A = this chain, B = another copy of it.
C-alpha cells in the first residue's frame, strides 16, 4: 500500500494545523509522498500567503519597495517553524527570493515560493527528503503542462527516495523558468505524483469531510457523499460544486487510482472516495445535487420542424457562430428550446436571433431569462425506478414550477430548469425527499 497525501492551504495555515497534518502522515507508514500547498487563512479575514506573494511581487515589478511585505511573509513561516520547533536557514531563502524579485523572475516564480517554503518546512518537520518540482514537473514554452515527460522525470526522481515532500502548484520550463498551474493547482501536483509513484490512493486533505450531497450554503450541514465516480463528480463540478481542481482528475483517472477527500480537522471521518467505477451503491439513490442560476431559454417554434432534416443543426449554428456554448436543448414536436448562460448570451442576443431567423425561418422565438438549472446526479438512478417521480412530486409539493426537464438515456442525471427565485427551494425539496425523509 502506497499513499500520496496532499494538504490544502487551510490544513497548513498555522503550526497547530501543521501538527495535525504531521500526525496524519505519521499515522500510516504508507503515507510516503507529501504534497503541501502554501499556508492558507488562519482565521476569517486573514490573507493567504500566495496572495501576499502576488501583492509583494507586484510592488517589486513596479520598482517599489517591498521589504515590509516580504518580512510579513517571512513572519508567517517563522511563526509556523517556531510552533513546530523546526530550524531552517530561512534567512538565506528570503535573501534569494528578494534578489529574484528584484531581478523580476516572474509572477509564477513569486507565487510558487509559498509552496516551496512550505515544502521545506514540511520536509524538515517530517524528516522527509525535499524534492523541488522545478526539477521534475515540466511545462512547455507556452506554459502548458507536459504530462508524459513530467511523469518519467518524477518517477525516476521519486524512485530514488522512499519518503519525500514535493511542493504543489509549480514546476518549470526546460530553461528553468518557474511556472505554475492555475490557482488550486496543488491538487494537480498531488495527482501527477500519485501517477508517477503508482500510488494505491491519492489522499487529498482539506477542511471538509468530503464532497457534500449539496451546497452547504443552501442546505446547512448536508450529508457527505461516501463514494462518487469521476463522471458524477464532473457533472456536479460542472454545475457549480467546487471540490478539486478539474485538471487533477485526469492523471489518476487514467491509472485507476482513487482519490480520497479527507478532513485534516476530523481525520476519523472516512471522507469521500472518488473512483472510476464502483458497484457500491449511493446511500441515497442520488449521489449529489448541484446547480447554477443565470440561464436564458430561447424557445423556437416552427410548423413541421420535426419533419425537416437538419433543422436543429441550423439553429445550433446560429449559436456556434457567435461563440455561445449550448447547455441543453430539450425539444417537443415542432419546438425546441436552447438553454445558454445569460452572461454568454446577453451581448450576442440580437446577432443570434438574426442568425436563427436567417437560417431557420422560425414561426416564433420566445426568450426567457432568470432561469436556473439543477442537475440531480446519481449512478443509482438507473436501477431505481421512480426517481423521476420522486423528484417531480417533491417539486410539485414545494409549489415549484418546472420549466424544463432533460434526461438522456445515460440515466446518470436529470437536469431540471426552474426560475432563479425558486432555485434554493427546489434544491432543498429534492435534498429532503432523498436524504432527509428517504421515502
Contact = CB atoms under 8 A, between A and B. Distances in A.
A179 B409 CA distance: 46
A333 B239 contact: yes
A414 B417 CA distance: 14
A373 to B, nearest CB: 10
A70 interface: no
A405 B396 contact: no
Contacts of A238: 306, 333-334
A380 to B, nearest CB: 14
A386 B393 CA distance: 6
Interface in A341-364: none
A391 B396 CA distance: 12
A293 to B, nearest CB: 16
A387 B407 CA distance: 17
Nearest to A250: B303
A336 B335 CA distance: 18
A332 B413 contact: yes
Contacts of A332: 235, 375, 406-408, 410, 412-413, 415
A336 B312 CA distance: 14
Secondary structure at the A interface, as helix, strand, loop or mixed, is: mixed
Contact of A389 (B366, B368, B395): B395
Contacts of A316: 310, 312-313, 316
Interface stretch (A85-93, A139-147, A187-195, A320-328): A320-328
Nearest to A398: B385
B330 A330 contact: yes
A201 to B, nearest CB: 23
Nearest to A388: B392
Contacts of A309: 319-320, 323-325
A329 B338 CA distance: 11
B313 A408 contact: no
A299 interface: yes
A35 to B, nearest CB: 24
A385 B405 contact: no
A399 interface: yes
A231 B303 CA distance: 9
Interface string A369-405: 0010001000000000110111111111101111111
Contact of A409 (B320, B337, B407): B337
Nearest to A313: B316
Given A333-B238, A386-B396, A396-B385, A409 B404 contact: yes
A307 interface: yes
Given A235-B332, A333-B235, A386-B392, A297 B409 contact: yes
A301 interface: yes
B328 A331 contact: yes
A437 interface: no
Given A329-B329, A388-B402, A392-B392, A335 B410 contact: yes
A385 B410 contact: no
A435 B409 CA distance: 29
A359 to B, nearest CB: 12
The 7 closest A-B pairs by CB, nearest first: A386-B396, A337-B408, A389-B392, A389-B396, A389-B393, A388-B392, A313-B316
23 contacts: A239-B333, A297-B409, A299-B408, A306-B325, A307-B325, A309-B325, A312-B316, A313-B316, A313-B317, A330-B330, A332-B412, A337-B409, A366-B409, A385-B399, A385-B401, A386-B393, A386-B397, A388-B402, A389-B397, A390-B392, A390-B396, A404-B409, A405-B407
Given A239-B333, A329-B329, A337-B410, 9 more contacts: A309-B323, A310-B316, A312-B326, A332-B412, A332-B413, A336-B408, A337-B408, A388-B405, A392-B392
